[in-house]
Amino acid sequence: MAASLTLMEAYMVETLLAAGMTESELVHAIKTADIDAILEKDDSFDYLKFVHEVKDDPERIEQAILSGYSIKFMSVYGIERILNIKFNLESGKDYTLEEHRFLGIELSSDGFASFENMLSPNWVITNKKENDSNITFDIVHKTQS
C-alpha cells in the first residue's frame, strides 16, 4: 500500500523533485534536516516546518518519495497544481477544465500509473484510452460520475 501524503506535502515533494533534487537527495535532506540543501533548490514553501513535522515518521515520507504515494484529499485546484508541478501540464493548453471535470489529460504510461496512485478517492478516472506509450483520460469528481 502506498504511503499517504497531504496535498501540501505532495506540493513540496514534487516542487523539489521538479527543481532537480533526486529522490535519494531529497530523502537524505529530510532525514538529516538539511534545510540548506532544500532551500538551495526552492524557497517557496515552509520547508523547515515540513521537515519538523515529518521527522517523527521518516519511513512514511521515504516510502512516498521512493515508491509513490496517494494524496489524502484533492480539490480541483490541487489536481490542477499537481498536474503542473509533477507533469508540467497546463489547463487550457494540455487539457480542458470545465465544471470540475478535467478532460483530455495525456500522460505516459508511467506518468499515468504514478498519477492514478496519488489521486485521492474523491475523484474518478474516466474515458481512459491507451495509444502507443501514452494514456489519455478524464477526471471527474465522484459525485459526478
Residues in CB range of 78: below 8 A, 6 or more apart: 7, 71
Number of residues assigned to the chain: 145
Grid cell for residue 97: 477544465
State the pTM of this model: 0.87
Sign (positive/negative) of CA torsion 134, 124, 78, 53?
negative
Q: What is the pLDDT of residues 62-101, one digit of tens each?
A: 999 999 999 999 999 999 999 999 999 999 999 999 988 9
Domain ranges of the chain: 3-70, 89-144
